[in-house]
Chains A and B, each alone.
Chain A
Amino acid sequence: MIEEIIMQTGIYWFMALGLWINLRVVRYPDLAVENVLVLAAMSTCGIAAAGINGASGVVLTVVLGVPSALLVAGCAWIAWKVLRVHAIIVSLALGYILYSVALEAFGAMKDGQGLPKLRANAQGLAIVYSSILVICGVLQMIRGSSAGRHFLAAVGNPPLARALGMKPAVWQWLGLSFGTFLMMVSGLLHACYYTYVNIGDAVGFLLLGIFSAVLVANGLCPRIVGLWNGLATLIAVAAFQSVITVAIYAGLPINLNKGLMGLLLIGVVALLRYKKVSQPITLS
C-alpha cells in the first residue's frame, strides 16, 4: 500500500502542478485536465500501436507533448483573451474537443497494449521521482531567472506588466503550455501505471480531488513557481492519495472517496492560509 501511495502521489504531482500553474494564469480551474490526460495516454498508446514500443515510445510522446501543449494552450489563450470567452467555458469546450480528437484519432482504446509497464517498485519510483526532481530543478531555475520574473509579473498583474513593456500574452501562453505539458506527462505516467488508457470515465472526481490538493498546496506555499511550490504540491497530493488509498483498502467506492476527500480537503483549505493568501493587498 505504501508503494502505491508513493507512486500515485508522483503521478498526480505532475497533474496537480499543471493545474496549479494554469489556475494562476487563468484564475479558474482548468476543467480540460482529464481530457488532456486522456489525449496524452491515447497518444502514447497510439505510438506503441504504431510499433514504437517501450521507452522510445514514451520519450517520443514526451517530445511530441511540447508542441501539443503549445498548440492546446495557444487555442485556449486565443479563446480566453482574444475571443473573450470565459475561462471555465474555454476549458470545458477544450476538454470536449480534446476528447473528441483522441477518440477520432485512436478509437475507444481502453487497454494499454504496448505501453511500457510502470510498477510501484524501486525502478518505477526512481523513474517518476527523478522526473519530479528534474521538474523541480527546472522550476527553481525559472524562479531565479529573468524569464521567471517576467512570467510571474505577467501572470500576477497583466495590466501593469503590459504598461511596463512586457508581453503578458506571451508569458501567459507559455505558462499555460507548461501547465498543460505537465498534465500530459501525468496522463502518460497514469496510462503506463494503470495500463488503462481511457481515463475519462471518472470525469469530475479526479479533478475535484486533485484540485483540492492544489488548494492545499497553495495554502502551504502561495508562490507560483519554485522548488518550495513543487514540494508543497507533493505534500498535498501525498496527503490526498494517502487518505484515498486507505479508504479504498477499507472498501469504499473509489469515486465516492475522491469526491468526499475533495470536499474534506477544501474544508482543510479554509483552515489553512488560502483565505489570507487570496485576499488582495489593500491599504485601507
Chain B
Amino acid sequence: MITLSQLTFSYTEAFDGFRLGPVDMAMQPGKTYGWRGNNGSGKSTLASILAGQRSAATGGIDGLPPRVLYFQQNIAANIFPDLTVGEHLRLCKTAERRADILHVFPSLSQFARKYPDALSGGQLQRLAFSLALIRDFDLYIFDEVTNHLDQQTAKLVGETMQSLLRRKPDCTVVFISHDHDFLRRYADVIFTFDEGKVIEESQYDHSFT
C-alpha cells in the first residue's frame, strides 16, 4: 500500500508560492484512483512527487513501488520525438506485447511511419498511452490522459487499464482528470483536491457494473 503522511511541498515565490498539503492519502494495489479538482489544486504537483520528479518538503511516502509510470499533461514528455510511431511500438520487448497494443489501438499501424510532429492531438495521445503498455509498471499515474480523445477512445483507455488491473492486481492506477463521468466510471476511489489539500474521498463500487 502507498501511504502519504503529512506530505507538503512549496513552490518558490517565482512560481507563485503555491503550497501543497499537508496531504494524507492511502492507495491500495489492485485499485483505480481518481484525482479531481480545479486547476492549480495540487494534483499534478503531487503526481510529480510520486514520480520522483520533485522532492517533498516535509512528510513521507511509504510503500512507493520502484516502477512508476507518470503520463504527464504535456504530451511531449510522453513520447520520443525522433522515433516514428512504428519505432515506438518496436520498443516492446516481445511481439506479443506489441500485438496487444495494436489490438487496443489498431489505428496506430496506419501511421506507423509518421513522426510524432506529424500526428494530430488524438493520435499523439493514443501513441503516448500505448507506451504505458510496453512494459509492466507498479504504479500508473495518468494526468489528463483522456484529453483530445473522443468518448469511444477514452472508454477504451479506461477499459484497458481495468483489464490490466485484472491481469496484474498488484499494481495501482491513478487517473487525474477533470472528466468526472470518466472518473466515476473507472475509479474505485476519488480524491477531490482544493488549494493543495485533499478535501474529500469518495468510494465507488463497480462490482455490479
Contact = CB atoms under 8 A, between A and B. Distances in A.
A153 B74 contact: no
Interface stretch (B36-44, B75-83, B106-114, B192-200): B75-83
Interface in B99-150: 115-117, 121, 124-125, 131, 134-135, 147-148
A27 interface: no
B91 interface: yes
Interface residues of B, number: 30
Contact of A282 (B76, B78, B90): B76
A197 B174 CA distance: 61
Contact of A281 (B51, B81, B135): B81
B77 A163 contact: no
Interface size class of A (residues with CB under 8 A): 20 to 34
Contacts of A16: none
B133 to A, nearest CB: 11
A110 interface: no
B131 A160 contact: yes
Nearest to B128: A160
B134 A164 contact: yes
B75 A164 contact: no
Contact of B83 (A153, A159, A165, A283): A153
B82 A160 contact: no
Given A164-B131, A283-B121, A152 B83 contact: yes
A281 B80 CA distance: 11
Contact of B82 (A146, A152, A159): A152
A164 B78 CA distance: 11
Contacts of A153: 80, 82-83, 91
Among A146, A282, A283, find the residue whose CB has the most chain B CB atoms closer than 10 A: A283
A136 to B, nearest CB: 18
B164 interface: no
Interface string A150-193: 10110111011101110000000000000000000000000000
Contacts of B115: 223
A277 B121 CA distance: 17
Given A157-B81, A165-B135, A281 B75 contact: yes
A31 to B, nearest CB: 24
A148 to B, nearest CB: 9
Contacts of A277: 117
Interface string B63-83: 000011110001111111111
Interface in B160-175: none
Contacts of B81: 156-157, 281
Contacts of A119: none
A83 to B, nearest CB: 19
Contacts of A223: 82, 115
B104 to A, nearest CB: 17
B122 to A, nearest CB: 9
B75 A283 contact: yes
16 contacts: A149-B91, A150-B91, A152-B80, A152-B87, A153-B80, A156-B80, A157-B80, A160-B80, A165-B135, A224-B82, A281-B75, A281-B76, A281-B116, A282-B75, A282-B76, A283-B124
Interface of B: 51, 53, 67-70, 74-83, 87, 90-91, 115-117, 121, 124-125, 131, 134-135, 147-148
* Nearest 10 CB-CB pairings of A with B: A152-B82, A281-B76, A156-B82, A283-B121, A156-B80, A153-B80, A280-B76, A156-B81, A157-B80, A149-B87
Given A163-B51, A164-B131, A283-B121, 16 more contacts: A149-B87, A150-B91, A152-B82, A153-B82, A153-B91, A159-B77, A163-B70, A165-B135, A223-B82, A225-B82, A280-B74, A281-B81, A281-B124, A282-B75, A283-B125, A283-B147
